[in-house]
Amino acid sequence: MNSVFPSIAPGQVHRWGGAVLIVARRSGSLGGFPSGSLRAPFLSPAEQRVVHALPAWRQAEWTAGRLLAKRLVGELVPVPETEAEAGVEILPRADGSPHVLVGGVPLPGLHLSISHTARHVAAALAPEPVGVDLCGTESAGAVRRAADHVLSPGELCLIGADRPEAMAGAWALKEAAVKADRTGIFGPAARRIPLLGLRPPLLGGRRRAMAWRTGDTVLALVLARAAAHCVGAPCPAG
């Protein structure tokens, strides 16, 4: 059976709708860092304080996400080579969402989102509110059990009960949408964002959305404004 979503190549920077994004496989041999990384990313003193305050099981995935995010910053912002490591920081806001600083100065016009699963990590940067989320098809059963809190009866009918990839994609799209809004998946916010279709992904509320498949995982990207189109490079499709 054909996949609901087009494929996206891991480890490469892709562009869609003005955003740049990347997804990578996590590697146990690299302490959780994305495959292909030869070393851990440089962490500033402020970033080190954040990561050392996390539980041990969260530290590797947190750092892996920042590695990808720092790689993306140079795609949208001209960062001097001397500051490419030491000058770029990814730090949490008060609500926990990540934001970018260059030379200690926040970049309010650049929006960042990061997502992790046990096998993948992804990051997206855009000049408008952005959300990215990963959901594995093996989680479809758990998603279905929690779906009544997030998906309407009409959305569940659209997805179908026995389509793991579609269920994972619907969840990832809703999660990415609330990340772009900086709200939460459990609560009224997700139910107020209607899922209108999966091929191509369509969300209500002046949002642009796209979803891809990498291995057994769905990657969803949501931008908070205007009509969808690809700029700067072809849409990633494999």
CATH for 174 = 3.90.470.20
Distance set, CA 45 to CA 53, 104, 107 (Å)? 12, 11, 19
SS3 16: strand
List, for residues 34-70, the tens digit of each pLDDT value. Answer: 554 434 457 899 999 999 999 998 998 899 999 899 9
- Please check whether residue 61 lies inside any domain of the structure: yes
Residue 130: Cβ-neighbour burial (10 angstroms; 0-12, 13-18, 19+): buried
The pLDDT, as a whole number, for residue 237 is 34
Percent of the residues in the chain that have a pLDDT greater than 70, as a whole number:
84
Bridge partners, residue 43, by sequence: none
Residues 6+ apart with CB under 8 A from 193: 174, 177, 178, 181, 203, 204, 205, 207
Average pLDDT, the chain: 84
- Enumerate residues 6+ apart whose C-beta is below 8 A from 91: 46, 47, 50, 98, 99, 101
Q: Is residue 7 situated within a structural domain? A: no
Domain membership flag for residue 174: yes
How is residue 34 annotated by DSSP? B
| Better-scored residue on pLDDT, 172 or 30 | 172
pLDDT computed for residue 227 by the predictor? 41
Q: What is the pLDDT of residue 34?
A: 58
Query: Which is more confidently placed, 31 or 125?
Result: 125
| Residue 54 falls inside a structural domain | yes
26-30, 212-216, 225-229 — which one is most confidently predicted on average? 212-216
Instruction: Tell me the mean pLDDT in the region 220-236.
Output: 59
**Average pLDDT for 171-197:** 90
Q: Is residue 110 in some structural domain? A: yes
| Contact in structure between 222 and 212 (CB atoms under 8 Å) | no
Read off the pLDDT of each residue in 16-31 and give the average, rounded to a whole number: 79
Q: CA-CA distance, 68 to 196, in Å (whole number)?
A: 31
Number of separate domains in the chain:
1
Q: Whole-angstrom Cα distance, residue 96 to residue 157?
A: 34
pLDDT at 177 over 80: yes
CB burial string 64-90: b at 16+ within 10 A, e below: bbbbbbbbbbeebeebeeeeeeebbbb
Could you tell me if residue 120 is inside a domain?
yes
Residue 181 domain boundaries:
14-223
Q: Identify the residue with better confidence: 47 or 149.
A: 47
Decide if pLDDT at 24 tops 60. Answer: yes
Mean pLDDT computed over 139-156: 88
Question: Tokens for 86?
Answer: 């030491």
Q: Is residue 232 included in any domain, yes or no?
A: no
For the chain, give the percent of residues with pLDDT over 90: 51
Per-residue model confidence as pLDDT tens digits over 59-103: 988 999 998 999 899 888 876 655 555 588 999 999 889 999 988
Region of 177 please: left (phi>0), alpha (psi -120 to 50) or beta. alpha
Closest CA to 127 of 44, 223, 213: 223
Q: Is residue 150 part of a domain?
A: yes
pLDDT at 231: 40
**pLDDT above 70 (res 29):** no
